[in-house]
Structures are given as C-alpha cells and as structure tokens.
A and B are shown apart, each in its own frame.
Chain A
Amino acid sequence: MNADQRLKTYIEGYDRILEGGIPINHIVLVAGTPGTMKSSLSYYMLYHSVLEGGMTAVYITLEQSRESLLRQMEKMGLKTDRVKDRLHVLDLSIIRKKLREVSTGGSWMQVFKGYVSNLKENLHFQLLVIDSLDVLETMADIADRRTDLFYMFEWLRDLGCTVMLISEASPDRLMDGSYDEGYLSDGIITLKMQVVRDVETQRRIRTVKMRETNHDPSYYSLLFSNGKFQVTKVISE
C-alpha cells in the first residue's frame, strides 16, 4: 500500500508502527477507560491532519459539550482558532433534547444518519470522529446489537471517509466475543493506564488490530508533553 493511501496520525513514533498510518476509509475503534486520553488523542490526530495535511474533519460529540471539549483541547495547547474553518466540532446531543418525548431510538438514529450524510455531501470531510459509540448506542436504543451494529458499520463504510469511533469498552473485554464492534471494525487501538511497580503510572497504547497493515501489536508508552504526543518503547526493568 502506498503512503498516500494512509492517514498519518502525527503522533511521533506511532506512524512507523502502523507502516505509515491508518489506511484511508478504515473504521477504527479507540478504546479505553476514563482518563486514558481517547478524546484528546483522536482530536490531536484530526487537528494535525487539518493543519498539516490540509484535510477537512468533523468531530461529533454526543455527551461532552462543545465548549467543554474545545476548552480541554485549548488547555492542551491545540489552538482551536487555527483550525476553525476545517475542523468542525459538533455537539449532536441536542438531537435527544429535540426528540426526547415523541420518538423512539430508531428515529434518533435516522435523524443522526440523515444529518451526517448531508454534512458529508456538503463538506466532503475525510475524517470523522464519533465520541462515543457507547452513547450512540444508548441514544439509538440498540436492542439487537449484532444486527443494528452491523448496519451502522455498513452505513459508516458507505460514507467514504476514515472513521474513529471512541469506545468505552475495556480493552480486555473488547475481544472476548461479546463485543461485535471488535470484529466489525477495521482497526482497534486501545489505551490504558498501567501501574508499574505499584507506584509509577504510565499511559500505554496498543494496536490490537489494523487490517491491511503489518502492525506491531505490542504495548508502547504514550507520552504527552509540550503539546505533543509521543510513542516510545516500554522501558522495563
């Protein structure tokens, strides 16, 4: 696969592990417990793809308010003003407020899909983040996960862009068979906090799965300092 068919993650040291980046039009799960920087990492990738790669991107938040998210990114040194014309952070939690009393989860999903499809036609974005899959599921009242998720992934594939789905499922449980998204997605990146020798806490990143890529599935240290993400080998005793 050529380098231009991959999306750089702009995370220092990580693109090498992915043979240059995430293959375009992949649907990738970003999973981790609270505080593992799922949102930050995803936004970081969008931010640099827009700033350095000249792309258009959409970040859909279903729970955290737009202001809170932007404020958080601003605090991390990602100047939202620099990307305001091509990185759109949209707070779609308002769909629920509008439809709350009258409609079912199925209608919620229809409105959601309708809106995002329109957006794709108008903005031609190449990158989409949905934060998070779990909230989307709650909103859409998904009862039959196997079928409903299958159709949702089909719809995402038809959109024709690279999608990062933020997931709250813990990495260990993601692959134990009860979570279909693990099989439906093209890639899985897990994030976790590792307690080392009882006292040290390190952030870890692992590429569990990446189709069409000969990736390294081991754990790496994920560092964030001076506004930059960096991936390094785990230094063990």
Chain B
Amino acid sequence: MKPDDNQCFRCGESLQDNPPPVPKGPELAHLVTERPEVRPMASREVAHEASERRSPVKAAREQDRHLERKEHELAEKEKAIVASVEQLEDDTRSLEDAIKRFDRDDEEMRERENILKQRELQLESLANKLEEAISQLETKPDAAGDIERLKQLSEDYSTRIGEERKRQKAQLDRDIEERLERLKNLQAFMAAAAAVSVTPREVEEPEAVQEERRELTEEEVAQAVAQLGKELEGQFGTPLQHPETAVISTKDERLDFILGGGIPVGHVVIVNGPAGTMKSTLSYYILHRAAVKSAKRSMYFSLEQKRDSLIRQMERIGMSLKDTAGGMVVVDMVDLRKATANEPGDWRAIMMRYVRNVHAQMPFDFFVLDSLESFKSMAQFEFTRESMKDLFDWFKELKITVLVITEKPIDILYQSVQGETYLADGVVEMQMKEFDDAKVYRWLRCVKMRGMQNDPRYYAFYHTGTEFKFSLPLVDSGK
C-alpha cells in the first residue's frame, strides 16, 4: 500500500474518510527548515581597511577579496548555525512544554479516576439500600410477585454496574498506556533533538581546509609500509577471540529455518525486491515479533512512507505499535526531506547523527533502513563503494543488527558499483512469480547469510492477515 492510496489493497475499504487516530510523532521538519536571515557583514570594512594598507599588488588584492569572500561565507554559516541552534533550543522548550502538558493530562486523568471511584461507591451504597428494601419486602408474604420482580431488577442493576465498571476501567487503562508510550517516545525524540542542537558546531567546522590528494613519495610509501607492518602484527597467530555468536531468532520457525537459524547479531542484511513484494511488511514483522516475543528494542527508519500511514497499515494486519510497549520506534523523514529538498547540507549526516543520538538515549538492537535508494539520494556527494563501506562500518560500530531495504532488481544490484550485496552479511531476495495468465505469487529466498547454513531455495509466502506463512512452492514440474 502506498501513502497516497485511498483504498485498502486488501479489502477495498476507503482510507481517506476518518482514518483511525495514530499517535502523533513530534515533527522534526521545522528543526532545520527555517533558515536565518543574513545580516550585513561587519567584517567587510575590516577586510577593506586591511587591503588598503597593503601593497597594491593585484595578486594580494585578489587574495584579499578571496579571503573576504571566505570570511563572509564563514560568518554567514556561523549565523545560520547560531540561528538553527536557537531554533532547536526553542523546539526543545516546546517539547518540554509538551511533556508538561502530558503531565497535566495525567493528573486530570487521575482526578477522573477518583471521581469514578466515588461514583462507584455511591452506586454500591444505592445497591445496598435496594437490597435492604427487598429484604424488608420479603417479610410480607402477599408481595411475593413484587419481590421476585424487584430481585430480578436488582440483579440486572448490579451486573450492569459491574459491566460498566469494567468498561470504564479498561478504557482508562488503555488511555494511560497509550499516553505513557507517547511520553516515552517523546522523551527519546526530545533527547535526540536536544543533542542535535548541541553538536552541529563540531560537525560542520572541519570542512574549512581540505588537503589535495597527492602521490606519496617513495620514502613516504616505505614509511607507510613499515607502519602498516607494525599495526598488523597483532593479526598474526591470533585466533578468533569469541567464536560463539549470538543469533536473533525471528520467532517464526519457518523463517528461522530459511535464514539458517536466525540473524546473527551485528549482521547487515539486505532485503531486496520489487515494489509490492512486502519488503517493508516483512521487515516490520521481524522487528515487531522481536519486540513482542523477545523484548528486543528497535527503530524503523522510513524514508519512503509516512510514519502515520505505515503504522496504520501495519495495525490493520495485526501489528499494533502498542503491543511493543514502546520497544519499537517508527521514524520518518518525509516532511524533513520535502522541506529541505533545495537546502544545502548533507542530510545523510544529519540523519546518522540523529540515529546515533537516539541510540545513545534508548539503545536498540534492531534497525531498519527503508530504503537504501532514498538514503543514497540524500547524500550530496557521489555515493561510492567506499561510502557504502563507511555506512556499513558505522552500523557495525553501533553494534546493531540492520535490515536494509532496496528495490533495485537483484541482477542489477549484483553489478552495482557500490557492491552492497557483496558488502552485506546477508541477502534476502523477494520477487513476484507469475503463473498461467492470472496467478501471481510472492516468493522469497535467502541468497546469503554469513556464518549460517541458510536454505537457498525459493519459498512461496503470503500474509494471512495476522502473520506470514512460508512454504515450498508447488509447481507443475512437467512444464
């Protein structure tokens, strides 16, 4: 299902009217969208004076102008940074306000609970009075019919009270749970946002000087070789320190079998397939199961589909975010990307910084990047094989298990200059198989899973509406 769809692909139900409410994530877009106005430069006069004092050689002047421009740029940049830091601080404040609002709401709820309790007490005393009246009536034999009727009434009354009480209580519990989950997410987001607002200076400074790449002299090469020899000494004669590997089970017996037992901790696995093969659903499924059944925390980073739409879609097929008790966080950047499409700055770096900050606040075991194509498009520079290796190394540094979703046809992916399938520890390929004229099945196979003896066969799979089912496909071998 796509974000713009107005009909459910499964049941045809309209999605536009009254979409079910979804916990709203804090909006990050405005954190970076508003750019400060550029004020006139103060440094211009200074530079001008300096140039007058110097000898009137043309070259020197040109250099001055160059410096001036640089200075101008730097000052502008600094102002932009300062402004965005201020903006971020504002946002932090507004987030804090939001938390306060939540606290107030909580109190309100508690008050409501008290009122409810008082009412219950009143109702109980009423019921007692009724019973007393009945027992008094019972003493009069001629009123037997009336007594029966009254007894019946009182029973009805008490069962209704009980039901109502239960309903109210469940409602209250649900409300509280939902609020708590939202609060938890909000806290993580706020902490991450606050951290982002503190770091940009350090990150954006070092671009100032970049040395030209140059050939090393013979001497330098010899030096580098000697140094390399020293650094690699430790790799000789040392066996593997901790041969046992932890493996995360997907908590789906069949899927575990296909993967050779599960996904080893720290693996980066590519989930590939054309549109509609349920890559996102399967990845979400793995995360959701891990959260519900083995309390693994996770983050689903969607660069494609909006958070609300994704959550709603998954809820419809039995994967409610509430079941994870805050153990699973869904983040999108749709708004951010839209708002910053023409802005300078590398959003890839901003996103990575953000993920790192959330991880520091709320360590998670699983991470989904949906999708690699979108992520690549966020980079301002050419995305090379080295960039891909850097990204994968970065995942390994965080010590998280990662599912990377890609949509490129697998045969093209095998020849991609970035070599992602060679770099990855695992590759899961999904495809649509057409049979006869009308039938289309979804197939899946695990092409690669380092360190596991995966089953490389194709499996047919479908979603029952609540879970995935995998089976060896039945194909007419006579063809």
Smallest CB separation, B188 vs chain A (Å): 30
Contacts of A224 in B (CB 8 A): 453
Interface residues of B in 379-417 (CB under 8 A from A): 384-386, 389, 396, 414-415
Asked if A94 contacts B228 (CB within 8 A), the reply is yes
Smallest CB separation, B215 vs chain A (Å): 6
User: B301-336 interface mask toward A, CB cutoff 8 Å, 1 = contact, 0 = none?
Assistant: 000000000000000000000000000000000000
Interface residues of B in 338-396 (CB under 8 A from A): 384-386, 389, 396
Tell me whether A15 is interfacial, beta carbon within 8 Å.
Answer: no
Residue of A nearest to B388 (CB): A63
List the one stretch of B36-44, B119-127, B149-157, B421-429 in contact with chain A. Answer: B421-429
Asked if B427 contacts A35 (CB within 8 A), the reply is yes
Of A76, A92, A115, A195, most buried by chain B (CB within 10 Å of CB) is A115
Q: Which of A64, A67, A85, A199 contacts B458 (CB 8 A)?
A: A199
Tell me whether B237 is interfacial, beta carbon within 8 Å.
Answer: yes
Tell me whether A110 is interfacial, beta carbon within 8 Å.
Answer: yes
Asked if B213 contacts A104 (CB within 8 A), the reply is yes
Cα(A76)–Cα(B245), bound, Å: 12
Asked if B422 contacts A90 (CB within 8 A), the reply is no
Q: Which of A75, A92, A110 contacts B451 (CB 8 A)?
A: A75
Cα(A67)–Cα(B244), bound, Å: 12
Contacts of A101 in B (CB 8 A): 210-211, 213
Asked if B225 contacts A118 (CB within 8 A), the reply is yes
Tell me whether A221 is interfacial, beta carbon within 8 Å.
Answer: no
Smallest CB separation, A96 vs chain B (Å): 7
List the one stretch of A20-28, A132-140, A182-190 in contact with chain B. Answer: A132-140
Q: Which of A85, A107, A138 contacts B384 (CB 8 A)?
A: A138
Contacts of A67 in B (CB 8 A): 240-241
Asked if A80 contacts B473 (CB within 8 A), the reply is no
Tell me whether B229 is interfacial, beta carbon within 8 Å.
Answer: yes
Cα(A87)–Cα(B456), bound, Å: 30
Residue of B nearest to A139 (CB): B386
Smallest CB separation, A111 vs chain B (Å): 5
Asked if A88 contacts B236 (CB within 8 A), the reply is yes
Q: Which of A63, A64, A199 contacts B473 (CB 8 A)?
A: A199
Residue of A nearest to B474 (CB): A199
Contact A195 B458, CB 8 Å, known A65-B396, A102-B213, A107-B221 = yes
Asked if B214 contacts A34 (CB within 8 A), the reply is no
User: A156-174 interface mask toward B, CB cutoff 8 Å, 1 = contact, 0 = none?
Assistant: 0000000000001010010
Tell me whether B139 is interfacial, beta carbon within 8 Å.
Answer: no
Of B232, B237, B445, B447, most buried by chain A (CB within 10 Å of CB) is B232
Q: Which of A75, A80, A173 contacts B452 (CB 8 A)?
A: A75
Residue of A nearest to B473 (CB): A199
Asked if A66 contacts B228 (CB within 8 A), the reply is no
Cα(A115)–Cα(B384), bound, Å: 26
Asked if B224 contacts A99 (CB within 8 A), the reply is yes
Contact A72 B451, CB 8 Å, known A34-B427, A88-B235 = yes
Of B224, B243, B445, B453, most buried by chain A (CB within 10 Å of CB) is B224
Residue of A nearest to B232 (CB): A90
Asked if B224 contacts A111 (CB within 8 A), the reply is yes
Tell me whether A91 is interfacial, beta carbon within 8 Å.
Answer: yes
Cα(A95)–Cα(B447), bound, Å: 30
Contact A98 B421, CB 8 Å, known A66-B235, A74-B240, A170-B415 = no
Contacts of A68 in B (CB 8 A): 425, 450
Contacts of A132 in B (CB 8 A): 422
Tell me whether B136 is interfacial, beta carbon within 8 Å.
Answer: no
Contact A71 B231, CB 8 Å, known A33-B414, A195-B458 = no
Tell me whether B419 is interfacial, beta carbon within 8 Å.
Answer: yes
Asked if A89 contacts B385 (CB within 8 A), the reply is no
Asked if A34 contacts B477 (CB within 8 A), the reply is no
Q: Which of A71, A107, A138, A200 contacts B240 (CB 8 A)?
A: A71
Contacts of A200 in B (CB 8 A): 457
Cα(A236)–Cα(B461), bound, Å: 27
Q: List 11 A-B contacts (CB under 8 A).
A: A33-B421, A94-B228, A102-B214, A103-B213, A104-B215, A111-B221, A111-B228, A115-B232, A134-B422, A193-B447, A203-B456
CB within 8 Å of B: which residues of A?
Answer: 33-35, 63-68, 70-72, 74-76, 80-81, 84-85, 88-96, 98-99, 101-104, 106-107, 110-111, 114-115, 118, 132, 134-135, 138, 168, 170, 173, 193, 195, 197-201, 203, 224
Q: Can you list the 6 inter-chain pairs with the closest CB atoms, starting with the nearest?
A: A35-B448, A114-B225, A75-B451, A35-B447, A107-B216, A81-B239
Known: A94-B231, A106-B215. 9 other contacts (CB 8 A): A33-B447, A103-B214, A111-B221, A118-B225, A118-B229, A138-B385, A197-B477, A198-B433, A201-B445
